[in-house]
Structure 1
Amino acid sequence: MTKSLKSFSLPQGKLACWLLHPGRDTPQEIRTALVYTLFGTLPIFLGGVFNTIAVAWVLEYRHPSALFRFWLISEIIVCVARLVVLVLAHRRAQQGKSTPTDLYILLAPLWGATVGYGAFISSISGDWVAATLSFLSAAAMVGGICFRNFAAPRLVAIMIFLSLGPCCIGAVLSGEPVLLLTLVQIPFYLFAMSVAARKLNAMLITTMEAERENDRRARHDGLTGLLNRAGLFHATTYELARSARIGTGVPLFYIDLDGFKAVNDAHGHEFGDKLLVQVATRLRQLAGPDALVARMGGDEFVIVGQVPGAAEPNTFADSVIAEIERPFHLADDVVIEIGASIGIAPVTGVGNGIDKVLGSADVAMYEAKRHKKKSVVAA
């Protein structure tokens, strides 16, 4: 699901968190992806900024009063502030730094309020050209609000309310009975667009959850639950590279089981699979939370990252061999003993560079196999 290292911070304040709540509990990975969508669709954002400033400028020129002048000035200030915060957020996200998500989110309802204010003062001005233009502008913005922000349906509802709600008040104060129809139209429109935003949000989350599950299956070994080769490459490229849990110089251990084929031949693939699952469990426990464990296929495994206690690579490799040499109880009457050969290579980079490290560790592992009494070889 992750396509880029660029990531925007989750909101911290109570109000911003409430506005961005998707309406159901979701994993942090999906919430981060939902926040990411709010910083996209730049054409809609820029179109909205241009439209609202242009309408405010035209009507201020038509009505050079304090009310319209305040609208124009506030519109410019809010739009420029939103644009500056948006650009800053993109730059900080690209650099892997925290982003001003709370400020960006809170500026959105403020912008909706300036749109609503303009519609209100236009409706009570007695100038129906101004009222028509401002109402059309507000209605047009609602479409962009819904389709740009449906990842946060509460935010959509608040922005629509602030944009169109003042139109109802203006209609009541205008003295034109026919405009009272807006007291029915606008609440219905607010309800319909809010429901649409919620449904789009639910569809988006469902799609993200399915994509997340597909990614998990594609990057994990179906038998042991460990990372597979693709998962190892992805993790070193994105997750660990971003969180600095892996870096230059950490060891990569390439592990091959000695005697596994004999187990398969003697007891069948069912017991061979049970053995692999138990080996995976032991390796995961040995590696600790800060290292990656992967099954590369067959009876080959990889551990990469900081191992517990900052142990020396050879010392840790010896502990892995000792753990694997302990008997495996596969059934009441089936107890298996196997060994392991380990090749070690230092990580010189992440992403594509991990392929070369794997190659070096693989060569070292086969060198270890040739030394029956020495099962660990460093590249």
Structure 2
Amino acid sequence: MLHPTIFFISWLVADLVIWIIRWFLLQKFIVSGESRSHYATDLALLFGLIWAVEIGIGTAGCIISVDPVLQVLACTSAVSMNGAIAMRNQGIPRYAFTQILLTDIPMKLATLFQPAPLLRILILQAPMYLTGLWVLLNQLNTNLIKAYIAEFESIHSATHDKLTGALNRLGIVNIVAATLDSTEAQSVETSILYLDLDGFKKINDENGHATGDRVLVSFSNMITGMLRKSDAVARMGGDEFIVFMPDTNEASASLIAERIIEKLRVYTAQNKAYAGLGVSIGIATNTSLTTESLDQLISRADFAMYAAKSAGKNCYKFG
């Protein structure tokens, strides 16, 4: 409005075009399915840099115009945008700093092409200003990473057993809920194995809790190594574990139970201090599992495990 020249009209048009393109790319990025573009993110980053160049050139034009109103508005707006860039892109600090350079350098250089000598102080301020923003960006990035790590560790601690690293009861419930999000998973046969170590108390009492802990960790790792990625192991407390196996019928579950029993037998044979250690396994299956029926399925497997103990231990029974 103050200077309707070709330069400023072109700047307005360019800004609107870039804004529309970036908005369109955002819509392509947030949608799901086939309509989502594979290159939306790359193009959004590219046009973010193009936008920064456009802002830098426009700001430089405002300074060269010698209009004090435009100079004040352009400089304060550019500095404000750089602060927003730092906050918005703290996850990608090098990219953010590149945007800041593209907006800031043209503004500083433009002071050389206007008559007011005091505005060239901006050039002297540039090293300190850019250094400060670089330090700020890296500090923001460090804080963001720490926050994500703390969140992950908090979730992991709440859903996993601290000793063995296996899931706990809450963790296995979450796994079941995530599995059942798939419609197909709700109609397939699911198996639960309830395992209890036989002779563990004797080993724990005779050799100490440190030895008992090593047995539990080794047993947990042993089970995990025998399962598929879709299966899950949880420690229910003490020397009791459960194995959640989606898309597994009784025949497949019994094969896994036999392998666990045999693997533990070989393990105890190689470690004489663990003589007498065995495992009783209860198996329960369900063809329409829900998160509400999970407790019932675990209860059936638990009863079957006690049946295995009554049958002589170191064996498996179906519930």
Please state which band the TM-score falls in when normalised by the shorter chain. 0.7 to 0.9
1:220 to 160, 167, 191: 160
Cα distance change, pair 119–228 in 1 and its aligned pair in 2 (3 A): same
Greater alpha carbon shift after TM alignment, 340-349 vs 291-300: 340-349
User: Cα–Cα, structure 1 residues 231 and 364, in superposed 2: closer, same or farther, change >3 Å?
Assistant: closer
CA apart distance, 1:355: 5.2
Residue 196 of structure 2 aligns with which residue?
257
Whether the 8 Å contact between 1:326 and 1:337 is mirrored in structure 2 is no
1:1-379 superposed matches below 5 A? 61-92=1-32, 100-237=40-177, 247-248=185-186, 249=188, 251-257=190-196, 259-260=198-199, 263=202, 267=206, 270=209, 271-305=211-245, 312-326=252-266, 328=268, 332-346=272-286, 348=288, 353-354=290-291, 356-370=293-307, 372-373=310-311, 375-377=316-318
Q: Distance in 2 between matches of 1:205 and 1:347?
A: 42
Post-superposition shift, 1:273? 3.1
Q: For residues 167 and 117 of structure 2, what CA distance do their matches in structure 1 show?
A: 68
Specify every segment of 5 or more residues in structure 1 that has no aligned partner in the other structure, as ranges: 1-60
- The answer (yes or no) to whether the contact 2:301–2:318 under 8 Å persists in 1 is yes
SS of 1:224's partner is coil
Per-residue deviation, 1:219: 2.5
CA distance in 1, matches of 2:116, 2:205: 92
TM-score, normalised by the number of residues in structure 2: 0.82
- Displacement of 1:260 in angstroms is 4.2
Residue 366 of structure 1 and its aligned partner are, at CA, apart by 0.6
Equivalent position amino acid for 1:106 in 2: L
Unaligned runs of 5+ in 2: none
- The one-letter code sitting in structure 2 at the alignment partner of 1:168 is K
Structure 2 counterpart SS, 1:126: coil
How many Å separate the matches in 1 of 2:46 and 2:176? Answer: 35
**Structure 1 pair 104–247 and aligned structure 2 pair: CA distance change class (3 A):** farther
Separation in 1 of the partners of 2:44 and 2:199?
Answer: 57
Which residue identity does 1:65 align to in structure 2? T
Change (3 A) 1:250 1:78: farther
Q: Give the Cα–Cα distance (whole angstroms) in 1 for the partners of residues 196 and 36 of structure 2.
A: 39
Distance 2:84 2:282 in 1: 58
CA contact (8 A) 2:284 2:300 kept: no
Which deviates more from structure 2 when the two are superposed, residues 97-106 or residues 200-209? 97-106
Please tell me whether the aligned partners of residues 194 and 301 of structure 2 are also in contact (alpha carbons under 8 angstroms): no
SS state at 2:75 partner: helix
The alignment covers a number of residue pairs equal to 310
Q: Are the aligned partners of 2:197 and 2:240 in contact in 1 as well (CA < 8 Å)?
A: no
Percent identity over the alignment is: 23
Query: Would the aligned equivalents of 2:56 and 2:104 in 1 still touch at CA under 8 Å?
Result: yes
CA offsets 1:22-81 (integer angstroms, 9 cap, x no match):
xxxxxxxxxxxxxxxxxxxxxxxxxxxxxxxxxxxxxxx332222112211111121222
Aligned partner of residue 120 in structure 1, secondary structure: helix
Residues 275 and 168 (structure 1), Cα distance of their counterparts in 2 relative to 1, 3 Å cut:
closer
> Partners of 1:181 and 1:99 in 2: how far apart?
42
Shift of 1:346: 3.9
- Structure index of larger Rg: 2
Measured at CA, do residues 217 and 131 of structure 1 come closer, stay the same or move farther in structure 2, by a change above 3 Å?
same
Q: Which moved more, 1:369-378 or 1:156-165?
A: 369-378
Larger displacement relative to structure 2 (312-321 or 190-199): 312-321
Shift of the 295–173 alpha-carbon distance from structure 1 to 2, 3 Å rule, reads same
Contact 2:192 2:297 in 1 (8 A): no
